[in-house]
Amino acid sequence: MKSADAAIRALAFDLDGTLVDSAPDIGHALNSALRDEGFAAFELDRVREWIGDGPDVLIERALAALSVRDEATLHARLRLGFDAATFRSPLGQGRVFDGIDALLSRLRPAWPMAVVTNKPTALARAVLDAAGLLPYFAAVYGADTAAQRKPAPDMLLRAAADFGLGPAQLLMVGDSGADLRAAQSAGAPSAWVEWGYAGVKPLPVAPRWRIANPAQLWPILHPAAPGVVG
């Protein structure tokens, strides 16, 4: 397997579909909000296809599937319901992907790490805390405005700057095309994870690495890990 460039000095991880399988909880939160407004619920497989661009886009997609106009006050009520359901049970039905905790435990001594997600920051931190993963990360960058959402590079650029690094020194690890496009726009390298929600969708940008399971990230980074003797 091709090793990492020695210039990589920090990592940014996507959340949903990369660190945690949160689709059951996202589906529950969406359906809870929809039912409160008198709408039909959706099967998990359908909701999983809509995940990746944050709750507001998720709501837009659900209303479009219901042939309901996405009116501002309705959207706001659905978003309040979605957030409330998420905070009640951030990861009650989902799980941390196999191998993630072991990977982060191994990486943490040598690599500063952040989460860069299209989930709003407060929701992201709640999920990470419920998953037991929050202590691994120096920072959580969530898309609290539409302009921040990946594929925009803003959150990656901010993460690199906060680490005192250039974007080329920050590796973006994620499961979606938005992750890859954000990395490309920021000038950061990327690793695409095969276990996420993208499935068989064509990738819009070729990642520098493709990894089939979390353990494969360590051999990529190990040669350049500060203070690590191989």
CATH of the domain at 212: 3.40.50.1000
Find the domain containing 165 and state its range. 10-21+95-224
Q: Which of 85, 30, 32 is nearest to 63 (CA)?
A: 30
Domain tally, the chain = 2
pTM to 2 decimal places: 0.92
Query: pLDDT tens-digit profile of 106-122?
Result: 999 889 999 999 999 99
CA dist 99 and 107 (Å) reads 12
CA dist 125 and 111 (Å) reads 20
Residue 14: active-site member? yes
Query: pLDDT tens-digit profile of 144-186?
Result: 999 999 999 999 999 999 999 999 999 999 999 999 999 999 9
- Judge whether 168 lies within some domain: yes
In the set 14, 16, 154, 175, the catalytic residue is 14
Same domain, yes or no: 61 and 149: no
Same domain, yes or no: 145 and 80: no
Using 50, 70 and 90 to split pLDDT, how confident is the model at 213? very high
- Judge whether 229 lies within some domain: no
Residue 74 vs residue 221, higher pLDDT = 74
Burial zone of 202 (CB within 10 Å; 0-12 exposed, 13-18 middle, 19+ buried): exposed
Q: Does 1 have pLDDT greater than 50?
A: no
Same domain, yes or no: 71 and 120: no
Q: What is the b/e burial string over 19-45, where b = at least 16 CB atoms within 10 angstroms of the residue's CB?
A: bbbbbbbbbbbbbbbbeeeebebbeee
What is the pLDDT, as a whole number, of residue 227?
A: 40
CATH of the domain at 37: 1.10.150.240
